[in-house]
């Protein structure tokens, strides 16, 4: 397999660099998705693009017609303001590299392999409409590899709700007739203070964070409008629903106290937490060890949130991490700059091989596949 990895490595590194140089935020990945699709089609992989009426989504299929099915997930959206600081350009390169290699050896794999481009992971959750459409219902598993500072087979993710909360007041001259105004910025500040006061009384895994998008127009005008982007996270979806309802109560109270009004809008889809599948992790651990990549156990920790959690409610899903260098923190400028380094290129090479071998080996062993299915169905 190493020869096949080397055969395609230069092209996928060029793909990584191109995506890194031209970051596109979620839902706007037109150039990125086109570049990926062009490379898949170049080597004879049939691709549906766009997919599911999502203009930047796609689905390629290898071995069409086989009863068994597996999915390779491809992410390629960037972060607002700091580009590919989550490494999706490199993660996409890993998935594409694995797909090209598997396409070469497709006759030895008794499975239909789907390469699914999933846009807008960072906020709106492009995988969720796919989950709702039943795309993953008959899959044996779905897998991708994410970039990180460490090599990790499993780390939990938090369920997520995202809201835009808008307060509506009444403008007035802030010096001459302030009593005629109703201050939407005061409502926003009071809301954020109320949410901060919640922290003492929620479970340790809850995360509450947001920022004021709009706080007014001028210092001498009572702010008639203020908006906040607020993210609410927790391990358990049911508990998260309770916390989110509490957050809405804080917004209602802030509006009542300031005699303003408020509206809330969900930003994108609700994310679920990632369900674990230890049967598949056994194989992943072996593959990381074969690649001489030392693993860190983060199974008792939870990091951010991802819409792969929703996928894991319908099929076994794997989301390991591969290191691009110790001390590099995702969602920072340093992480974005690391996308065009030799360490990242080596991670793409190793990650592509691990991902391709995982799919190959699952279908070489009926026992592994049976255990993955059994553990998912047991839950």
Name the pTM for this structure: 0.91
Give the separation between CA 20 and CA 84, rounded to whole angstroms.
6
The domain made up of 159-266 has a fold known as Alpha-Beta Plaits (3.30.70)
Give the separation between CA 356 and CA 132, rounded to whole angstroms.
27
Helix (H) or strand (E) holding 214: strand 207-214
Segments making up each domain of the chain, as ranges: 2-157+273-378, 159-266
C-alpha to C-alpha distances, 257 to 178, 249, 265, nearest whole angstrom: 17, 12, 21
Give the separation between CA 325 and CA 307, rounded to whole angstroms.
25
State the architecture of 2-157+273-378 in CATH terms. 3-Layer(aba) Sandwich (3.40)
Angle, helices 30-42 vs 88-104, to 10°: value is 20
Residue that is written with structure tokens 């219902």 in the block = 137
Tokens linked to 26: 């979620």
Give, for all 379 residues of the chain, the pLDDT tens digit. Answer: 999 999 999 999 999 999 999 999 999 999 999 999 999 999 999 999 999 999 999 999 999 999 999 999 999 999 999 999 999 999 999 999 999 999 999 999 999 999 999 999 988 999 999 999 999 999 999 999 999 999 999 998 999 999 999 999 999 999 999 999 999 999 999 999 999 999 999 999 999 999 999 999 999 999 999 999 999 999 999 999 999 999 999 999 999 999 999 999 999 899 999 999 999 999 999 999 999 999 998 877 777 899 999 999 999 999 999 999 998 999 999 999 999 999 999 999 999 999 999 999 999 988 999 999 999 999 7
Give the separation between CA 168 and CA 149, rounded to whole angstroms.
43
Residue 227 backbone class (left: φ over 0; alpha: ψ -120 to 50; beta: rest): beta
Backbone angles phi, psi at 162, to 5 degrees: -125, 135
Q: How many helices (H) and strands (E) would you count in the chain?
A: 11, 14
Output the 3-class SS for 48-116: ECCECCECCCEEEEECCCCCCEEEEEECCCEECCCECCCCHHHHHHHHHHHHHHHHHCHHHCCCEEEEE
For residue 349, cis peptide bond before it (omega within 30 degrees of 0)? no
Give the separation between CA 321 and CA 324, rounded to whole angstroms.
10
């Amino acid at each position: 397999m190493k020869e096949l990895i080397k055969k395609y490595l230069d092209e996928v590194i060029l793909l990584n660099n191109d995506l890194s140089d031209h970051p596109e935020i979620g839902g706007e990945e037109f150039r990125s998705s086109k570049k990926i699709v062009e490379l898949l089609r170049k080597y004879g992989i049939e691709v549906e693009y766009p997919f599911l009426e999502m203009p930047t989504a796609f689905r390629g299929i290898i071995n069409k017609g086989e009863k068994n099915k597996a999915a390779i997930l491809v992410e390629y959206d960037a972060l607002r303001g700091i580009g590919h600081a989550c490494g999706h350009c490199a993660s996409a390169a890993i998935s594409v590299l694995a797909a090209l290699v598997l396409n070469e050896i497709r006759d030895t794999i008794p499975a239909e392999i789907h390469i699914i481009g999933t846009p807008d992971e960072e906020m709106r959750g492009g995988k969720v409409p796919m989950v709702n459409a039943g795309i993953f219902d008959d899959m044996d598993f779905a897998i991708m590899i994410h970039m990180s500072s460490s090599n990790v087979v499993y780390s939990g993710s938090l369920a997520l709700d995202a809201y835009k909360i808008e307060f509506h007041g009444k403008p007035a001259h802030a010096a001459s007739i302030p009593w005629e105004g109703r201050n939407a910025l005061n409502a926003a500040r009071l809301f954020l203070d109320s949410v901060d006061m919640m922290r003492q009384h929620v479970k340790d895994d809850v995360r509450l964070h947001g920022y004021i998008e709009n706080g007014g127009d001028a210092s001498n005008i009572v702010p008639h409008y203020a908006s906040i982007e607020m993210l609410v996270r927790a391990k358990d979806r049911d508990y998260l629903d309770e916390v989110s309802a509490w957050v809405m109560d804080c917004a209602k109270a802030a509006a009542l106290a300031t005699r303003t009004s408020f509206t809330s809008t969900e930003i994108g889809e609700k994310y679920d937490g990632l369900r674990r599948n230890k049967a598949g992790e056994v194989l992943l651990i072996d593959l990381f060890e074969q690649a001489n990549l030392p693993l860190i156990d983060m199974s008792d920790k939870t990091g951010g949130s991802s819409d792969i959690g929703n996928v894991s409610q319908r099929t076994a899903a794997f989301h390991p991490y591969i290191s691009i260098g110790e001390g590099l923190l995702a969602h920072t400028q340093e992480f974005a700059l690391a996308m065009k380094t030799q360490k990242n290129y080596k991670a793409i090479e190793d990650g592509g091989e691990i991902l391709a071998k995982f799919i190959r080996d699952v279908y070489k062993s009926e026992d592994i596949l049976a255990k993955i299915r059994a553990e998912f169905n047991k839950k």
